[in-house]
């Protein structure tokens, strides 16, 4: 659930157009009803009424609170679920990958000389990867047409150079799984 300030106007039973005298008399009335020494109210009820009065009786706080309420107009803010930043990121990246045809997994065949088969070898290879365009956020366009950075593709292709260890005795057809920037790359070894 979203953390939000309660409706202070509702707590004091006044409208948003109430003047300072109306707010003061409404506070006195509600304070009497909710004060733990004078009625069956709880400390918590009284504190909430007092907090509403503190905000609505101070012009600067009331103005800020009204701006906050204006932002919530048109939303069911008291039932709104607040997603985490991670949820928003995952949703956005998933959507962008879907609309741009972004590869989450790539498969390649690595062809090596036969002499590499019988001894340990470190081979430098370039892995082609993709990255969502930061200029257009993967949409391929801006307000003015195609994105000038990715030229309408919504992604950038780049190469990651990797030193890959091939152990002696590796057989053709073996698969290696590597992960770069959230992209899974599968390499299938083949010797010629």
The one-character DSSP state at 24 is H
Q: What domains can you pick out in the chain, each with its CATH number?
A: 8-72 (1.10.287.110), 102-191 (2.60.260.20)
- Summarize pLDDT for 64-83 with one digit per residue, the tens: 788 777 766 544 444 344 45
Helical H runs in 6-160?
8-12, 20-34, 43-57, 59-72, 85-100
Looking at residues 102-124, what average pLDDT do you find? Answer: 72
What's the pLDDT at 24? Answer: 93
Count of Cβ atoms closer than 10 Å to residue 123 Cβ:
13
For 122-126, 144-148, 178-182, which range has the lowest pLDDT when averaged over its residues? 178-182
Q: Are 12 and 49 in contact (CB under 8 A)?
A: yes
Q: For the chain, what percent of residues have pLDDT higher than 70? A: 73
pLDDT class of 153 with cuts at 50, 70, 90: confident
pTM above 0.75, yes or no: no
Tell me the backbone φ, ψ of residue 7, rounded to 5 degrees: -75, 105
Q: What angle do CA 30, 34, 40 make, to 5 degrees?
A: 145
């Amino acid at each position: 659930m979203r953390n939000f300030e309660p409706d202070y106007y509702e707590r004091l039973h006044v409208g948003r157009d109430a003047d300072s005298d109306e707010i003061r008399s409404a506070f006195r009335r509600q304070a009497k009803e909710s004060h733990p020494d004078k009625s069956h109210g709880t400390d918590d009820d009284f504190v909430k009424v007092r907090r509403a009065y503190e905000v609505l009786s101070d012009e600067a706080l009331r103005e800020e609170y009204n701006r906050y309420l204006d932002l919530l107009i048109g939303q069911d803010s008291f039932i709104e679920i607040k997603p985490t930043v991670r949820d928003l990121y995952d949703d956005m990246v998933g959507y962008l990958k879907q609309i741009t045809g972004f590869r989450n997994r790539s498969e390649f065949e690595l062809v090596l000389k036969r002499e590499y088969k019988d001894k340990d070898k470190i081979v430098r290879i370039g892995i082609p990867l993709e990255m969502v365009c930061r200029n257009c956020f993967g949409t391929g366009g801006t307000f003015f047409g195609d994105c000038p950075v990715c030229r309408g593709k919504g992604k950038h292709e780049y190469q990651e150079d990797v030193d890959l260890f091939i152990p002696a005795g590796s057989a053709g057809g073996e698969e290696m799984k590597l992960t770069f920037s959230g992209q899974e790359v599968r390499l299938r070894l083949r010797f010629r």
